[in-house]
Structure 1
Amino acid sequence: MDNINTDTIPQLQNWNNFCHYHANSDWHGIWTRYTPNGQEIESFQCVRSFHVSEDGSEINHQNHYTYADGKKETKTFEPYKKPIINCLFLDNSFSWGSIKVESGSNFGFETGFRYKDRRVSVAINYGDRGSLERITVISEHSSTFASAISHTTKELSGSWEGTAKTITPDWIVSSPVATSFNQLENFSEDYQVLDLLNGISIACPHKIETEKEFVATIDWLVNPDLLQRGIRKYDASGFRSFTLETFNITAC
């Protein structure tokens, strides 16, 4: 057996989660952009392609855009070299983005989930003065462009039971623990809470500041009996952790 530096094992697991849940697929997505108040700005199509090389040492990534005016564009990214990737993959979920709030710099992140042949993600962007600027909801299917799903988290009722797992920037994953469900509406007035397309809801600060703690939460109501929640946590020093919470409705 080859000798493996134990320090790289968590990083390799992160890479393997990327390959298992998201790679070797062409994700057909509808990208919908919103103002900070949830008003739709634009919508367009994009196919995100992730393909593993034959020897498994890298993943090639291309985005193929088709805009509302018919214009097409392809963006090719530098190959991801095993096991280095600037994204955390926790089971079927993922999150990546800015590590620290810096004065005069833009700030943003993307958090997403996969369930069977569907993926959803949300990208949230702040301007260089720290104000919420734009929200992008990406709804994807592994084989075709799917139509919107009408259910929202406003329809939630009944009793929900959940488990939570957390991953830190050094790829260490916690053991699952029980967690209780709290509506996003319980956040303070400092947070923008929106219900958007395809069972997506968000809660994020209206404004972020340097050396201030905050969280950014994305909910996906996968179906009436299953909800997944991704939480990015920041403290005074910067990005601290990403948590995946999975809730199932309990029988009456």
Structure 2
Amino acid sequence: MKSQWDCLLQNLGEWQGSFTRFSAEGNELEDTPTVVSLEGLHGNQTIRQIIRRLAPEPTEKILEYSTLGRGILFFEEGAFSQGSLQFAPFSEFGAELGLIHGDRRLRLVQLFNQNSQCDRVTLIREHRAGTTASERPPLTVKDLIGTWQGEATTLYPDWREPTTCSSRLHIRQEGDRLLQELSFGSGAPSRAIASIAEIDENRLIFAQGVQPIQVLLLPDGASSNCPVQIKLGQAFFLEIGWMVQPNLRQRMIRSYSDKGEWLSLTLVTEQKVSAA
């Protein structure tokens, strides 16, 4: 297994794209072209990261680091998440979740305000300089409908051994509602979760329970999944989804306990095995 640092090195290179900021309801507010470069120094023992925003006013930010913080974890292909270790009321909270597929990256930043409400979402679409990898169309409800089978790998902040299990997700539409059945594992330890969402244009609202969840359907086959407002004493998760091909999807889930403690990071790679 690669070290966490070696997994980070999968992101080396120059990434061209844009930072697109959305309101909590999924309305596009701002789109800024960007170039992000990650360069290995001293035999890749140090990383220099340069973030250039090209408009409206060009800016440049340079970071150098040789260690990784406690709030970040990487998967072997370079996918990662960094963010808050602990949720606390009356303070800002958030995380970045990043997926990588070939010469393309998709990153999502979800930020919550001091009232624990989802305040803004930033989608970062990137491709390696010199490549022509094409962007996916915006995600639609129709894209999601069907049965998805995959594998889920979970990493832990205490660096214990990763765990892997199978996953199965069945999604169907009934009028303006979306019905979802999700199961992990097989045999006695398996878990199953059923939920229903109201479809509101490019939003899916899961309103059951004390902590409503909202899924935004975004450009480039992306989705953002998080609580509308984080409730004290309730476990929750932050998720990014990416339809990298019509029948291939990645999801990353950053999970927190009912005490607000960061528990794990899960990467799911799933294929559509049935369209109904």
TM-score, normalised to structure 2, is 0.79
1:201 aligns with 2:223: yes
The structure in which a higher percent of residues are strand is 2
- Specify the alignment match of 1:191 in structure 2: 213
The structure in which a higher percent of residues are helix is 1
Give the secondary-structure state (helix, strand or coil) at the position aligned to 2:223. Answer: strand
- Specify the alignment match of 1:88 in structure 2: 73
Give the secondary-structure state (helix, strand or coil) at the position aligned to 2:250. Answer: strand
Output one character per residue of 1:9-39: Cα deviation in whole Å (capped at 9) or x when no partner: x8x71111111x202x111121111001000
Q: Is the 8 A contact 2:147 2:168 kept in 1?
A: no
Identity of aligned residues (%): 29
1:13 aligns with 2:35: no
Q: Is the 8 A contact 1:101 1:209 kept in 2?
A: no
- Specify the alignment match of 1:32 in structure 2: 20
1:73, 1:102 → 2: CA distance? 32
Give the secondary-structure state (helix, strand or coil) at the position aligned to 1:250. Answer: strand
TM-score, normalised to structure 1, is 0.86
Q: Is the 8 A contact 1:153 1:195 kept in 2?
A: yes
- Specify the alignment match of 2:273 in structure 1: 250
How many residue pairs align between the two structures?
237
Residue 129 and residue 238 in structure 1: after superposition, are their counterparts in 2 closer, same or farther (change >3 A)? same
1:75 aligns with 2:61: yes
RMSD of aligned alpha carbons: 2.3
- Specify the alignment match of 2:136 in structure 1: 149
- TM-superposed deviation, 1:208: 1.3
Give the secondary-structure state (helix, strand or coil) at the position aligned to 1:55. Answer: coil
- Specify the alignment match of 2:94 in structure 1: 108
Letter in 2 for 1:27: W
Residue 181 and residue 73 in structure 1: after superposition, are their counterparts in 2 closer, same or farther (change >3 A)? same
- Specify the alignment match of 2:40 in structure 1: 52
Structure 2 unaligned spans of 5+: 172-177, 181-194, 198-205
- Specify the alignment match of 1:7 in structure 2: none
- TM-superposed deviation, 1:148: 4.5
- Specify the alignment match of 1:168 in structure 2: 156
Structure 1 unaligned spans of 5+: 1-9
- Specify the alignment match of 1:231 in structure 2: 253
- Specify the alignment match of 1:22 in structure 2: 11
